[in-house]
Structures are given as C-alpha cells and as structure tokens.
C-alpha cells in the first residue's frame, strides 16, 4: 500500500515535470513585428460620392489622421522594447502579420464553405478561375479571358499559361476539369453543397486543350463567371493522393502563401515566391482564433496581433484616437434572422413574420449599435448589388401594426421562440440580436438566443449533416450576395430546393427559377424585382441592418477586404 502510493507519487511528479518542460519548449518568441518606419502610410481614400448603387461604395476607409498615425508609431515602438528601432534602409526583416479572427475557417478544404470566415484565409492560398474585384464584378484570375456561345450555355475559359501549384503540379485545363469532376459528382454536390450550390446549374467541365476549359450549364445563367470565383482549383494529383481529410490538414494551392500550420486555433501561412501572383509584401500571416471581440481589441491594443476582425463599432473611435486604422467596407450582405417554418408554428403564418419585421426599429439599431457605419437598416438588396433600389419598401418601425397583425394571426398574447446564433463574427452582431429580442419582447414575442459554434453546430445544421438540424424556430443567416453581388444569390438557399430547407415558399420557386435562367439583363431584372416584391410581402426572415466589413489594424498599407477576399499579397507597412 505504502509502496504503491510512493510509486503513484513518483509517476505523477515525473508527469508534471515532463508537462512543465513541454510547456517551456512550446514557448515561441514574440511574434508581432511592428514596423519601425517613421513614414505615415498613405491613406487610400475613396471619393465620397452621393450616388448610391455605385461601386465606390464598396470601399470606404475610415482614415486616421497623420498625427494619429505618428502617435501610433511611437506607441508601438514603446511597446516593443526588444525591437531595435532600425532606420529606413535596414535589411528587409521578415514581416509577420497576426490576424485575430472571430471564427476560424470551417476547414482547410475550401469546398466545404463559402464567404466568411473561410474565404478570408483561403483567398491567400487558393485561386479560382475568376476573382471578384473591389467593384463587385468578376475579374480575370486563373482564367485570362472567357466567352459564352450563342446558346448562352456553353462557356469557354482561357487559362493563364505557366501557373504551377506550390507542390509543383501544373495548373492546366485538365486540373480544372478534375476539380469540377470532384465537386459536381453526386457525392461532391452533397458534401460540398455550401460551395457548389452557388453554381449548381453547371453540368460539365471539360478540358479542350491544355489552357482551354469548356463549361456547359443546364440553364442560361449570366452570373456563372462570378459564381465560379469561389470554386478554388486544387492540385488534382495531390488531392487524389491524400483525400479530403488529408488535404484539409495540409492544403496546397496556387496562391502566394503556403500553409505551414493548420490548427484549430491557429493557422500559419508562409510567403511563396513561386506563385503567379508574385512575391507578397507580408512574409508570414498568422490567423489566431479569438472568438471574443473584446479579446481581439485588447490583443490589438497590446500589440499581440496586428489585425482585428470586427471590433465593436463602439471602440472604433477610440481605436482611431490610439492611432490604429479602422477599415470598413460594404460586403453586399444584410444581417438577418431566418425563420424556420418547416415545422409549422406561429412563424408559418405570414402575418406573424410581417409583425416581427414591423416590431424592430432597424434605423435606431443602425444609428446606435453600428455607429452609423451600416449603410442602411432593413433594406434588401444592399448597396452595390444588382437589384438595389434605395426606394424599395422597408418595414417601418410600427409596434402597433405588429400587435394588430399578431392578434389577427391569433397570437395576441405573443409566443416564445428560440433562435440559435453564432455571435461575435459580425460587427456588433450580439448587441444587434439582443436589441432585436428586446424589441420583440415588447410585442410579447420572447426570444431565447442560444449561442452556437459555427463549425460544430451552425454549419452541420445548415447542411443537415448526418441528420443534424436546428433546435429552435430561427437562426442567424444573412442575406449575402457575394460572390454574385446580385440579389438572387441568397434565394438559392432560402428556398424549397435547398437540401436542408428550413423555409419553403412555393410561389417564389418559379420566380427564382426564372431569374436563374434568364440571360438577358433587362428581362432578368424585371423578374428579379417581381421576386423581391413578392419576398418583401412574404418575409422569410427578419431583416436587420446592412452588414459591413470592419477591421482594425496597426497601419498596414493596401489592406482591403472585398467579397470576403482578404489577400495579404499586396499589403505592406509602407516605407
């Protein structure tokens, strides 16, 4: 008895020692390297035009003044005591940029998602045939040019020659064909539906010659070049060798960065000079998982990260005063809460859904909680998106009307509902949902907000993976238009045909179909507006405020986020 005790003690002490030593080994040198240059970075200012639906609205930078920038430079140098303040032409020291993200990408396998947070990271590793530019339109990317045949259903894409993946495989038409073969297989369409559903009408992709790819669609869809911008091209031989799970652990692409670590809490990318996109200005990009917005801001303020995603708009001003640059841009997306009606319940009644839209003061939320940074409250489609109309009807704040509609529907005393939400990924989202619930409680609708994890719960529920499904009557699902920047995009999910359809409006189905198959822009827009009118009267969700990109950083030059692309290859500290 005594002996065994001593043995346990010995083993335990050794284990503790080993653990402690392991901890020491894990210590890494401080990673943040702030620039020691004195020159204030040039601030790119977009002309402040009054026009609404123009592309200039895509980028709008809250500029810090020069004095503020200088303050910031001294502040950072003070903070970095070990860093020697080298002057101008010092030998180029590797620049590491550490980015605090609210949610980590769902996987290293880019077909498993679309939009934020995945594309923030993927856009540095992978490329698609096209890429959405800051103007919201598709730009030549891996494909130099493209054309569509007279039938509006046969597309030809001409690849840029001489591009290789970072593992040495060539990027050619055969590689593109192999990728689409995986995505468009029956299994692929199911597994990768979050991505593939954006271009579900693609029938076949074939290599004509080494640099020519032919894409045939089942319907005439004018938005194909935008849609396939998120179909990242992976090296087919490597992918076949390691499989999707192996690929997710060690992703390989054509972009300017290669993955040196892909973990749950941390992703590290190293610059790859061999990329066709050239040698990037930032040598190492680190993404750190910081779900809490307050922690991200604190980490930025204390110099541990260089870029913070979605700081609270409340702290935007004080961050600017401290010398940080606050970047904001539109993202063609409206924050919304989707109503789950497939099981019936109060929300299945259109009057109830209208009532909830009347009950929330979107404009007050926009002004108070987004600091006025959101361009509009409750308006869909948002600024910079095809279909946008500033005069389109928005449900006004009218609690009396809401109460009347509820009473008509037989819910004069209100009802209880649960909403599952991911929190902390959009600027002020938690506060906005909280305020929404506050407004709804005033008409007797008591909303319980259940915070859920994006990767572990939201995505499986959304996709219906292994029978996973929503627990409540609502969840947060924004009306996002990227990468199409066309009002039709979210309808491909908010509809009866979606694999785990939570909402089904039979009347909208033919309209959605018509928009998706009409090639002529004018005619298409006519149907699109019919669809939008119909949807406004039959709201599938509670529209809140237009979403926006909000990032704070320590003086990077060239930093920008458009259509969820957050490339670091053109970013530097100036000087």
Partner 1 sequence: MILVVSISTLLFFMLRVTGDPALVLAGDLSTDEDLARIRSFYGLDKPLIIQYILFIWQALRLNFGKSLVSFEDAMGLVLEKMPATVELALAAILLNLVVALLVGAWLGYRPQRIDRRIGLFGVLVSQGIPGFVIGLILIQVFAVHLKVLPSIGNQGLHSLILPSITLASFMLPRVIRLTAANVDEAMREDYVRTARASGATSRIVLFRHVLPNTLVGTLALIGVQFGFLLSGSLITETLFAWPGVGLQLIEAVRALDFPVVQATVAVVAVLVFVVQAVVDALIPLVDPRLRSRRV
Partner 2 sequence: MSSSQPGGITRRFLPHSRLGAPALLIAGFLGLAVVIVLTVWGQSIAGFDPGKQNLTDRLLPPGADGHLLGTDKLGKDIFARVAAGFRWSIPVALLATAISASIGTTIGVIAGWNEGWIRSSLSRFMEVAISFPYLVLAVAIIGVVGRGFFALSLSLGLVAWVSFARVIYAETRRVKEREYVMAARLMGMGALRIILTYIGRGIRPTLVVMCAFIFADLLVAEAGLSFLGLGASLRDPTWGNMLSDSRINLFEAPWMMYGPASAVILTVLTANMIGDGLLQYWGRGTHQQ
Q: Which one, 275 or 320, has the nearer CB to partner 2?
A: 320
Q: How far is the CB of 399 from partner 2 (least distance, A)?
A: 13
**Cα separation of 191 and 450, whole Å?**
26
Q: Which one, 1 or 42, has the nearer CB to partner 1?
A: 1
Q: Which of partner 2, partner 1, none does residue 288 bind (CB under 5 to 8 Å by kind)?
A: partner 1
Q: Identify the three-state secondary structure at position 348.
A: helix
Q: Which of 378, 394, 452 is nearest to 418 (CA)?
A: 452
Q: How far is the CB of 44 from partner 1 (least distance, A)?
A: 28
Q: Which one, 125 or 457, has the nearer CB to partner 2?
A: 457
Q: Which one, 456 or 575, has the nearer CB to partner 2?
A: 456
Q: Which one, 53 or 394, has the nearer CB to partner 2?
A: 394
Q: Which one, 301 or 516, has the nearer CB to partner 1?
A: 301
Q: Which one, 176 or 337, has the nearer CB to partner 2?
A: 337
> In a 10 Å sphere around its CB, with 0-12 CB exposed, 13-18 middle and 19+ buried, how is residue 337 labelled?
buried
Q: Which of 387, 346, 392 is nearest to 512 (CA)?
A: 387
Q: How far is the CB of 451 from partner 2 (least distance, A)?
A: 6
Element (H, E) at 205: strand 202-209
Q: Which of partner 1, partner 2, none does residue 359 bind (CB under 5 to 8 Å by kind)?
A: none
Q: How many helices (H) and strands (E) does the chain have?
A: 17, 18
Q: Which of partner 2, partner 1, none does residue 449 bind (CB under 5 to 8 Å by kind)?
A: partner 2
Neighbouring CB atoms inside 10 A of 93's CB total 13
Q: How far is the CB of 2 from partner 2 (least distance, A)?
A: 12
Longest dimension (CA), the chain: 89
Q: Which of partner 2, partner 1, none does residue 19 bind (CB under 5 to 8 Å by kind)?
A: partner 1
Q: Which of partner 2, partner 1, none does residue 315 bind (CB under 5 to 8 Å by kind)?
A: partner 2
**Cα separation of 493 and 499, whole Å?**
9
**Cα separation of 397 and 356, whole Å?**
10
**Cα separation of 125 and 259, whole Å?**
8
Q: Which of partner 1, partner 2, none does residue 566 bind (CB under 5 to 8 Å by kind)?
A: none
DSSP annotation string for 306-317: SEEES--HHHHH
Q: Which one, 95 or 231, has the nearer CB to partner 1?
A: 95
**Cα separation of 57 and 307, whole Å?**
22
Q: How far is the CB of 115 from partner 1 (least distance, A)?
A: 19
Q: Which one, 20 or 42, has the nearer CB to partner 1?
A: 20
DSSP annotation string for 304-349: S-SEEES--HHHHHHHHHTT-EEEEEEEEEEEEEEE--TT-SGGGS
Q: How far is the CB of 382 from partner 1 (least distance, A)?
A: 30
Q: Which one, 362 or 524, has the nearer CB to partner 2?
A: 362
Q: How far is the CB of 337 from partner 2 (least distance, A)?
A: 14
**CA dihedral over 438, 440, 443, 447, signed as positive or negative:** negative
Q: Which token pair is 485? A: 């920047």
Q: Which DSSP symbol is given to 456?
A: I
Q: Which of partner 1, partner 2, none does residue 434 bind (CB under 5 to 8 Å by kind)?
A: partner 2
Contacts 24+ apart (CB under 8 A), 83-89: 83/33, 83/34, 83/36, 84/36, 85/36, 86/36, 87/36, 88/37, 88/575
Q: How far is the CB of 294 from partner 2 (least distance, A)?
A: 4
**Cα separation of 225 and 475, whole Å?**
30
Q: Which of partner 2, partner 1, none does residue 448 bind (CB under 5 to 8 Å by kind)?
A: partner 2
Q: Which of partner 1, partner 2, none does residue 56 bind (CB under 5 to 8 Å by kind)?
A: none
Q: How far is the CB of 471 from partner 2 (least distance, A)?
A: 9
Q: How far is the CB of 224 from partner 1 (least distance, A)?
A: 33
> Where do contacts with partner 2 occur on this chain (CB under 8 A)?
5, 292-295, 297, 312, 314-315, 318, 361, 364-365, 367-369, 430-431, 434-435, 437-439, 441, 447-451
Q: Which one, 212 or 500, has the nearer CB to partner 1?
A: 500
**Cα separation of 14 and 125, whole Å?**
42
Q: Which of partner 2, partner 1, none does residue 22 bind (CB under 5 to 8 Å by kind)?
A: partner 1
Q: Identify the three-state secondary structure at position 224.
A: helix
Q: Which token pair is 226? A: 């935008």
> Where do contacts with partner 1 occur on this chain (CB under 8 A)?
5-6, 8-9, 11-13, 15-16, 19-20, 22-24, 26-31, 75, 78-79, 245, 264-265, 288-292, 295, 298-299, 301-305, 343, 451-453, 455-457, 461, 466-472
**How far apart, in Å, are the Cα atoms of 575 and each of 65, 470, 553, 555?**
17, 51, 17, 11
Q: How far is the CB of 446 from partner 2 (least distance, A)?
A: 9
Q: Which of partner 2, partner 1, none does residue 23 bind (CB under 5 to 8 Å by kind)?
A: partner 1
What residue has token string 């290599």? 207
């Amino acid at each position: 008895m005594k002996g065994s005790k001593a043995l346990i003690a010995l083993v335990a002490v050794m284990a503790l020692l080993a653990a402690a030593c392991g901890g020491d080994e894990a210590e890494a040198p401080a990673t943040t390297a702030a620039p020691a240059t004195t020159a204030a970075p040039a601030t790119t200012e977009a002309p402040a035009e009054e026009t609404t639906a123009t592309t200039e609205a895509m980028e709008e930078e809250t500029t810090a003044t020069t004095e503020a920038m200088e303050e910031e430079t001294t502040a950072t140098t003070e903070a970095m005591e070990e860093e020697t303040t080298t002057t101008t032409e010092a030998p180029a020291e590797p620049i590491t940029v550490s980015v605090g993200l609210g949610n980590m990408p769902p996987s290293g396998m880019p077909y498993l998602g679309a939009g934020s947070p995945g594309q923030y990271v993927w856009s540095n590793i992978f490329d698609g045939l096209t890429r959405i530019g800051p103007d919201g339109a598709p730009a030549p990317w891996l494909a130099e040019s493209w054309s569509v045949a007279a039938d509006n259903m046969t597309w030809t894409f001409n690849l840029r020659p001489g591009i290789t993946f970072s593992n040495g495989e060539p990027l050619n038409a055969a590689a593109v064909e192999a990728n689409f073969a995986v995505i468009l297989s029956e299994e692929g369409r199911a597994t990768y539906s979050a991505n593939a559903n954006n271009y579900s009408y693609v029938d076949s992709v074939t290599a004509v010659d080494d640099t020519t790819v032919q894409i045939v669609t089942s319907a005439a869809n004018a938005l194909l070049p935008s849609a396939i911008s998120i179909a990242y091209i992976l090296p087919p031989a490597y992918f076949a060798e390691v499989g999707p799970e192996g690929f997710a652990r060690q992703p390989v692409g054509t972009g300017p960065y290669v993955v040196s670590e892909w973990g749950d809490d941390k992703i590290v990318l190293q610059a790859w000079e061999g990329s066709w996109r050239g040698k990037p200005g930032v040598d190492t990009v680190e993404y750190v998982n910081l779900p809490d917005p307050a922690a991200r801001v604190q980490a930025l303020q204390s110099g541990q990260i260089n870029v913070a995603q979605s700081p609270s708009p409340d702290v935007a001003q004080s961050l600017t005063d401290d010398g940080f640059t606050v970047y904001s841009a539109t993202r063609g997306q409206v924050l919304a809460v989707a109503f789950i009606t497939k099981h019936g319940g109060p929300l299945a009644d259109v009057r109830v859904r209208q009532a909830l839209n009347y009950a929330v003061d979107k404009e007050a939320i926009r002004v108070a909680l987004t600091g006025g940074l959101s361009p509009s409250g409750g308006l869909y489609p948002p600024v910079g998106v095809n279909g946008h109309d500033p005069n389109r009807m928005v449900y006004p704040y009218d609690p009396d009307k809401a109460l009347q509609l509820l009473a008509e529907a037989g819910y004069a005393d209100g009802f209880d509902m649960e909403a599952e939400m991911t929190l902390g990924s959009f600027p002020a989202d938690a506060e906005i949902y909280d305020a929404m619930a506050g407004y709804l409680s005033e008409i007797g609708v008591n909303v319980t907000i259940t915070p859920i994890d994006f990767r572990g719960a939201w995505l499986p529920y959304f996709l219906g993976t292994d029978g996973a499904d929503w627990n409540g009557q609502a969840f947060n699902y924004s009306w996002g238009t990227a990468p199409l920047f066309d009002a039709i995009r979210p309808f491909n999910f908010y509809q009866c045909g979606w694999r785990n359809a939570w909402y089904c409006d039979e009347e909208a189905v033919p309209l959605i179909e018509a928009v998706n198959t009409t090639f002529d822009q004018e005619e298409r827009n006519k149907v699109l507006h019919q669809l939008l009118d119909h949807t406004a009267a039959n709201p599938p969700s509670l529209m809140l405020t237009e979403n926006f990109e909000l990032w704070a950083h320590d003086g990077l030059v060239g930093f920008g986020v458009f259509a969820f692309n957050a490339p670091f290859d053109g970013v530097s500290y100036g000087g």
